Amino acid sequence: MRDCKADSRENEMKRRDFLTAAAAAPAAALAAPAIAQGAATEWRMVTAWPKNLPGPGVAAQMLADRITALSGGRLKVTLYAAGEIVPGPGVFDAVAEGTAELYHAVPAYWGSKSKGILLFGSQPFGLRAEEQFGWMAHGGGQALYDEIYGGFGVKPFLCGNSGPQWAGWFRNEITSVDDLRGLKFRTTGLASEMASRLGMAAQAMSGPAMFQALQSGALDAGEFIGPWTDSALGYHQIAKNYYWPGVGEPSSAEECGINAQVFADLPDDLKQTVQYACESLYNVVTTEYNTNHAKALQRLVADEGVVVRKLPDDVMSAMGNAAGEVIAEMRDSDDALIKRITESYLAYRGLISGYMTYADNGQMNARALPYTY
């Protein structure tokens, strides 16, 4: 039989140990980083878009909301539209310098920093939306994406895609390559270089600025995204010829850039939360674009007098040759990182294009045949 006094002493020691531990817990909790406790850390998201602009403005708000929700409120992201803290073209530098914690924009806007960045957004005659994500996730793209952005103090993730863009809005019909020469045309990224090689006067500007330039005559034509976003900006009020396909941007990836030090300081679970918030929106955003593009195109044709026209094959071939020259120069660049990025992109493009001839291309061609369904 156990000694009752011994039991009593043992129970008293356990009680004291429990009380000591309980008393120490609040002090330990106070000493732990607030972000690990569930207290909200405020993040400012600056964007390249007007607030709630159909397409990218909507997608930016979705990302801010998703990071906040998936973090359980530990990261509270507040969105600031272009011009509220910094102008749209300044969001990359604002995040790199720590003026804001993260941004929502597209890689096509940062070509002045390095031409290699442009391949992560869109490539003339390049990857479609799901292929772009495939390169990042399965073809080595993300490591190169991290490397080139890391040189500027930014941690990047793709977080959406506009899907196939359009060739653009033209005042006059395009019947030959000669019709492009001297045309004042709004576009961005590598598509600008392709256009310039065909004699076009390519100009980069925001979506709202493109409307004003078309209206004033400073532009003859231009492309922005696709029917959903373009109709909201009113381009159809000025130019009625809407050309497809947008070979300059077969897709256009949207990105979230985070200050690299801010991201590095996150606990591991919140790093994964931010990554998942971005990646989980990619398909949601892409399919929202495609669905709303389809609805908007019907309205533009039925109600606004827009004429949908296909680029002539010889024009597209000329564009393809010009795009090939641009990519070849990047592949042969003296900048080792640009060269590696281009080689990686071309390797994945070659791999996936060979397969899609039988897969998606085959299905789309079959669906277009005449039959009763």
Enumerate the known binding-site residues for substrate: 165, 186, 223, 249
122 vs 119: CA distance, rounded Å = 6
Q: Which of 124, 97, 242 is nearest to 192 (CA)?
A: 124
CA–CA gap between residue 35 and residue 71 (Å, rounded):
10
Q: Two tokens at 100?
A: 């804001």
Q: Exposed (0-12), middle (13-18) or buried (19+): which is 339, by Cβ within 10 Å?
A: middle
Angle at 348 between CA 189 and CA 324, to 5 degrees: 45
Q: Pick the closest to residue 62 from 290, 267, 289 (CA basis).
A: 289
**Residue 292 CB neighbours (<10 A):** 19
Q: Which two tokens stand for residue 28?
A: 């330990």
Binding residues: 165, 186, 223-224, 249
Strand pairing partners for 158? Answer: 255
The annotated binding site for Na(+) is made up of 224
Rg (CA), the chain: 26
How far is Cα 16 from Cα 18, in angstroms, rounded to an integer? 5
CA-based nearest residue to 310, from 241, 245, 361, 221: 245
**Helices 129-138 and 268-304, axial angle in degrees (round to 10):** 170
Q: How many CA atoms lie within 13 A of 358 on its CB side?
A: 4
Buried b (16+ CB within 10 A) or exposed e, 254-282: bbbbbbbebbeebeeebeebbbebbbebb
